[in-house]
Amino acid sequence: MAVAHRKLLRSRQVGSLLFLLCISVGSAATIRYSVAEEMESGSFVANVAKDLGLEVGKLAARGARLVSEGNKLHFRLHRKTGDLFVKEKLDRESLCGKADPCVLHFEIVLAEPLQSFRVEVRVFDINDNAPVFLNKEPLLKIPESTPLGSRFPLQSAQDLDVGLNSLQNYTLSPNAYFHLHTRFRSHGPKYAELVLDKPLDREEQPEVNLTITAVDGGSPPKSGIAHISVEVLDVNDHVPQFSRLVYRAQVPENSANGSLVATVSATDLDEGSNKEITYSLAQNPEAVLQTFQIDSQTGEVRLRGPLDFEAIETYDIDIQATDGGGLSAHSKVLVEVVDVNDNPPEVTVSSVSSPLPEDSPLQTVVALFSIRDRDVRVGGKITCFLREDLPFAVKPTFRNSYSLVTDRGLDREEVSGYNITVVAMDTGPPSLFTETVIEVLISDINDNPPIFQEDSYILTVRENNSPAIFIGKVHAEDLDLGENAQVTYTLLPPQSGDLSVFAYISINSDNGKLYALRTMDYEAIQNFQFVVKATDGGFLSLSSQVTVRVVVLDDNDNRPMILYPLQNGTLPCNDLVPRSADAGYLVTKVVAVDGDSGQNSWLSYHLLKATDPGLFSVQQNGEIRTLRQISERDPMIQKLIVLVQDHGQPALSTTASLNILLVDGFSEPYLQFRDPSKNPTRVNPSTKYLVISLAVLSFLFLLSVTVIFVIHIYQKVKYREKFTVQEHFYDDCNFPNNLVQGGTSGSLSQPCPYEMCSATGTSNSEFRFLKRFMPNFPFPHGTGEAKTEAGSSLPPDSDRNRSRGSEDHGRVPDNCM
């Protein structure tokens, strides 16, 4: 039943740690939230605007901000939405140690009117720390004559978590000699004792090894282990006896290191070395070992480190007395730390309204602050007052919170600002106090217009500038203070009313920086001017104006243009160079022009890339010449890229691509005939093979065309033999008598005409087929009816023959399409 109840509590705790929000606004206007530790940065806590009953946007309008009582703020506020977020991951152990509950305090301060709300955020613990033994391999020396039931306290495991997540239980590895008994301290973690169940026999087993496990109550639980070695000692009849089971002492928290806390005493009835007793701080938490020390011979317990009542109020110290035979006894020293008034009051200023208008009414809130005294049991009541006689007063708002208000009228012409010293004092003893200075400035009314530093401005900008480039700045100063001195800059059109200036220039209204909105072109506009107006931020604003003239400077913005060779994307220009050309041979010349003038139009030519960089060179005038004699190994096609560059700042350039063909010879217009005796021709084996390959391919191509042509003619003849007789062929080829001059019977009076069709898109016009062309001549009168292919008669003027003849005459043969 208890286990089920504990699991239920754990599940509820885990669910609440994911996000637990409890808000309570009491009479002291305190808002309370709860979050779990280790929440990631940016985790949502609550909506402050909703909890305060404010509309969305009011927090931003009233300048809401967070003020922490300590030196560090662990949360951040989104003023637009009112959401409260975790600023950084929270570690409850580093924030509050073993204190539970762990509460963080801060204030939400609003302005216009000045108002503050106290916020408390409770940080719940999660199981993020496992129990740890400081000594992971303790050694126990136990005499073999130790009676059954004897108890041996073990060191406590340290667990930084609190509540159910802290140390809950110990377990012991199975063995035949001991069992484990868990005990509680009045102040401190649980500790375990070994209880002897079976007599020890050194001759039978001189050493017993045990494993103790400390388990916390988290879900899932975490654990830590230590390996205990029990050394069985020879017989020692008597164990040391302390004069008291518990020693009590009170020590002020301001005691110096080395101060005596208590003296313990133990006796042993044995004789010799077994009677010699040694004292030690055995099996104590780390906090005890760092704060106290004991004299091993006298038993005096003294301070080793500083005490702080606000951190730890009581200590539970285990004292061990061991005789020379290895027998030991244990006692306790309970140390109560006495609080003293050693902390002066701490003043935290939440908000200051500065500058303050000189016409502010009485009881205007100037600042909000709170006072805290860490000495909770001493110090008495805290009083707060002003050290000097000033037109201000301190007014309490709620517990330990105060406001600074105006008490008399203010005059900025007499005093422009105040350094107000607030004194917070406790009643001691001894009485401690803290002084905090709050600076408040007094603002005036708007009575000074902005004044420009110059009567007029002249700015320059180069053409082809980048859009939105900074070209200059105008500046005006206002002798007023605060918002009255905030100057806003605007552009005004010139007196001519030309609004096109706004398309060229923009001004930053906050700092007066001027920017060119578009790229300037010196050829289009050389200068223009406009007016800048400076206006202050007073209630009744004042302003002044200044004229700004912008001068455009010329720039190198035209690249060289290649006139020869043409670079228009068509077929590349090929220049022929004989392989017999000597060094210095003029190949061609690159001609280029630049649209700029002066130094920007001076052009230089450079060879940027070449198939063989050592074969050609580019002169300053653009001429391309050979550097050496051309050899047979040089590739036939030489590709050159020539860089043409002007002398502008920065320089602009363009490139020209050339193809140079190295040939063995060409016709008279290009090259003089070479004497074979002087330059004997050598046949390159690769050239010979190329010629043979071309010849074979040409032969195969002609053979294929011939075969196709023969097949086509054969099909035509076979088709005509099926639908036509030979006599009709000759009749169709004989023209009317009135068109025939001479001729004998049985022969053609005129040649039979044919249409010749060639393949389109070719330069050689290979013949595709031949088709007889039959003109549409009318039949002669008196010849009777015309004969058809089937032998039937048709009228001479038959529409069918007429239309068919015209169709045959005007139609393009299908195979010619």
**How is the beta sheet containing 102-110 ordered, strand by strand?**
30-36, 115-124, 102-110, 65-68
Mark 765-797 as b/e (b = at least 16 C-beta within 10 Å).
eeebbeeeeeeeeebeeeeeeeeeeeeeeeebe
CA-CA-CA-CA dihedral for 3, 9, 12, 18, to nearest 10: -100
Q: Of 250, 245, 284, 293, which is closest to residue 265 (Cα–Cα)?
A: 245
**Per-residue pLDDT tens digits for 609-632:** 988 888 899 998 989 999 998 888
More confident call, 376 vs 29: 376
Q: 438 pLDDT exceeds 80?
A: yes
H-type helices in 108-249, by residue range?
none
603-610 and 637-646 strand pairing: antiparallel
SS3 content of the chain, % helix, strand, coil (to 5): 15, 40, 45
266-267 and 591-593 strand pairing: unpaired
Task: Tell me the three state secondary structure of residue 76.
Answer: strand
487 near 476, Cβ under 8 Å? yes
State residue 79's pLDDT score.
85
Greatest mean pLDDT range, 288-297, 564-573, 594-603, 784-793:
288-297
- Beta carbons within 8 Å of 236's beta carbon, 6+ residues apart: 143, 145, 270, 274, 323, 325, 326, 327
Q: 779 pLDDT exceeds 60?
A: no
- Beta carbons within 8 Å of 502's beta carbon, 6+ residues apart: 491, 493
More confident call, 480 vs 384: 384
Neighbours of 102 (CB within 10 A): 19
State residue 720's pLDDT score.
66
**What is the spatial distance between Cα 295 and Cα 800, in angstroms, rounded to a whole number?**
144
Q: What angle do CA 258, 263, 269 make, to 5 degrees?
A: 140
State residue 722's pLDDT score.
56
6 near 217, Cβ under 8 Å? yes
Which helix H or strand E contains 174, and what residues bound it? none
Neighbours of 593 (CB within 10 A): 12
**Per-residue pLDDT tens digits for 574-591:** 788 898 888 999 989 999
**What is the spatial distance between Cα 617 and Cα 624, in angstroms, rounded to a whole number?**
6
Q: 765 pLDDT exceeds 70?
A: no
**What is the spatial distance between Cα 235 and Cα 179, in angstroms, rounded to a whole number?**
22
pLDDT band at 9 (very low <50, low <70, confident <90, very high): very low
pTM: 0.41
Greatest mean pLDDT range, 103-107, 166-170, 173-177, 608-612:
173-177
Q: What angle do CA 254, 256, 261 make, to 5 degrees?
A: 90
Greatest mean pLDDT range, 3-7, 102-106, 582-586:
582-586
**What is the spatial distance between Cα 658 and Cα 704, in angstroms, rounded to a whole number?**
39
Q: Of 327, 161, 299, 178, which is closest to residue 243 (Cα–Cα)?
A: 299
Neighbours of 221 (CB within 10 A): 16
pLDDT band at 686 (very low <50, low <70, confident <90, very high): low
Q: Of 661, 665, 645, 662, which is closest to residue 653 (Cα–Cα)?
A: 645
**Per-residue pLDDT tens digits for 744-757:** 333 333 333 333 33
> C-alpha 500: how far from its chain's center?
41
Neighbours of 799 (CB within 10 A): 9
Q: Averaged over 414-438, what is the pLDDT?
A: 90
State residue 390's pLDDT score.
93
**What is the spatial distance between Cα 11 and Cα 768, in angstroms, rounded to a whole number?**
96
Q: 440 pLDDT exceeds 60?
A: yes
pLDDT band at 564 (very low <50, low <70, confident <90, very high): confident
Residue 611 token pair: 């198939």
Q: 13 pLDDT exceeds 70?
A: no
**Per-residue pLDDT tens digits for 121-150:** 898 888 888 999 988 999 998 888 888 999
**What is the spatial distance between Cα 380 and Cα 270, in angstroms, rounded to a whole number?**
55
Type of residue found at 806: S
Q: Of 26-35, 172-181, 207-216, where does mean pLDDT reach its minimum?
A: 26-35
Type of residue found at 640: L
Bridge partners of 646?
603
pLDDT band at 194 (very low <50, low <70, confident <90, very high): very high
Q: Averaged over 381-406, what is the pLDDT?
A: 91
**What is the spatial distance between Cα 318 and Cα 187, in angstroms, rounded to a whole number?**
12
DSSP 129: -
Q: Of 54, 65, 81, which is closest to residue 119 (Cα–Cα)?
A: 65
Bridge partners of 369?
349, 402
pLDDT band at 567 (very low <50, low <70, confident <90, very high): confident
Q: Of 315, 363, 369, 364, which is closest to residue 347 (Cα–Cα)?
A: 369
**What is the spatial distance between Cα 442 and Cα 359, in angstroms, rounded to a whole number?**
9
**What is the spatial distance between Cα 211 and Cα 743, in angstroms, rounded to a whole number?**
139
**Per-residue pLDDT tens digits for 233-278:** 867 777 899 999 999 999 999 999 999 999 999 998 877 788 889 9
Q: 815 pLDDT exceeds 80?
A: no
Q: Kindly report whether the peptide bond that precedes residue 138 is cis, defined as omega within 30 degrees of 0.
A: no
Residue 114 token pair: 């000045």
Type of residue found at 799: D
pLDDT band at 21 (very low <50, low <70, confident <90, very high): very low
State residue 678's pLDDT score.
40
More confident call, 350 vs 56: 350
The residue assigned the tokens 């609080």 is: 339
The residue assigned the tokens 């003023």 is: 79
Greatest mean pLDDT range, 183-192, 213-222, 724-733:
213-222
The residue assigned the tokens 């005059």 is: 411
DSSP 101: S
**What is the spatial distance between Cα 550 and Cα 492, in angstroms, rounded to a whole number?**
14
609 near 598, Cβ under 8 Å? no
Q: 432 pLDDT exceeds 50?
A: yes
State residue 485's pLDDT score.
86
Mean pLDDT, the chain, integer:
79
